[in-house]
Chains A and B, each alone.
Chain A
Amino acid sequence: MDNEMTLSFVAISENESLARMAITSFVAQLDPTIDELSEFKTIVSEAVSNAIIHGYDEDGKGIVTVHAVRDGDLVSVAVKDNGKGIFDVKKAMEPLFTSKAELERSGMGFTIMESFADNLQVESEPNVGTVVTFSKKFYSVKMPQIS
């Protein structure tokens, strides 16, 4: 393990950008390409937004925790909340499914996360909380070795 971080914040929507900023700095050592970095930020943004909006209904009290570990080129992230949980994870992960259409949530969050992450797991228990874990390997642009 090369590096590790934990970031916790209350469930208000302005912390979505805080989480993206922290995770961007965390992977900076890997010299990610623009596309790798923006896909990685998108996954984090979706997971954190879900925790804030769906886990806690933006109550400003619940705590969202982002835990990240870097091991060589591989970064693993867990986004955790102790909110209301997802009653049917399979249904929640279907493209276009949303429980908050009135907020113009597109229902594409999990589809985007699954597409951009190397692997993604969602564990949830009603009234206990949700943990979204994923990892992504960074291929980056390596400087040629001069021998």
Chain B
Amino acid sequence: MNYEINMHLNEIAVIRLFGELDHHETEKIRAHISKTILQGNLTTIIWNLERLNFMDSSGIGLILGRMRELSTVNGQTFILNPSNTMKKIFQFSGLASYMMEGTEADAILHARGIVNG
């Protein structure tokens, strides 16, 4: 399990997850992701799951937890490139509306539109 965080304009965090995300891995990375994204004036988190090979309900906990942290600033969340199985897990969990078709660049533009609008 590995991840990368890229900040755009100090407002948008793009988080790329790699490998397998389960309870064990989530516990290892959660605090660091949380600390990193809460620096700056964050309004949007874009999760890119393109290279995530596996995710169970721990992934839901990780994403929901960060959504909660963003809720004080009415933040936005976008989920890109989930596998078919991940799509189902997001649907069961009520997160289907946060999935977005498109690239990171599309999501960033979309987020900035909302930010500036």
Question: Which residues on the A side are within 8 Å of B54 (C-beta)?
Answer: 20, 38, 41-42, 45
Listed from nearest, the 3 A-B pairs whose CB atoms lie closest are: A13-B24, A104-B61, A106-B60
Give the CA-CA distance A105 to B24 in the complex, in Å.
12
- Are the C-beta atoms of B92 and A16 separated by less than 8 Å? no
Give the CA-CA distance A102 to B54 in the complex, in Å.
23
**B92's contact among A38, A49, A105, A112, by CB below 8 Å, is which?**
A112
A 10-41 binary contact with B (CB < 8 Å = 1; else 0): 00011011001000000000000011001101
- Are the C-beta atoms of A16 and B85 separated by less than 8 Å? no
Q: Chain B: residues with CB nearer than 8 A to chain A? A: 20, 22-24, 26-27, 30, 54, 56-58, 60-62, 64-65, 83-85, 88-89, 92-93
Determine the main DSSP class of A at the interface with B.
helix
**Selected A-B contacts with CB under 8 Å, 30 pairs:** A13-B22, A13-B23, A13-B27, A20-B20, A20-B54, A34-B83, A35-B83, A38-B54, A38-B83, A42-B54, A42-B56, A42-B85, A42-B89, A45-B22, A45-B56, A46-B57, A53-B23, A103-B61, A104-B26, A104-B62, A104-B64, A105-B58, A106-B58, A106-B60, A106-B61, A108-B57, A108-B92, A108-B93, A111-B93, A115-B88
- Are the C-beta atoms of B22 and A17 separated by less than 8 Å? yes
Determine the main DSSP class of B at the interface with A.
helix
Is A95 close to B, CB under 8 A? Answer: yes
Question: Which residues on the A side are within 8 Å of B85 (C-beta)?
Answer: 35, 38-39, 42, 116
Is A109 close to B, CB under 8 A? Answer: yes
Given contacts A34-B83, A49-B23, A112-B56, 13 further A-B contacts (CB under 8 A): A13-B22, A16-B22, A38-B84, A38-B85, A39-B88, A46-B57, A106-B61, A106-B93, A108-B60, A108-B92, A109-B56, A112-B57, A112-B92
Name the residue on B nearest A95 (C-beta).
B92
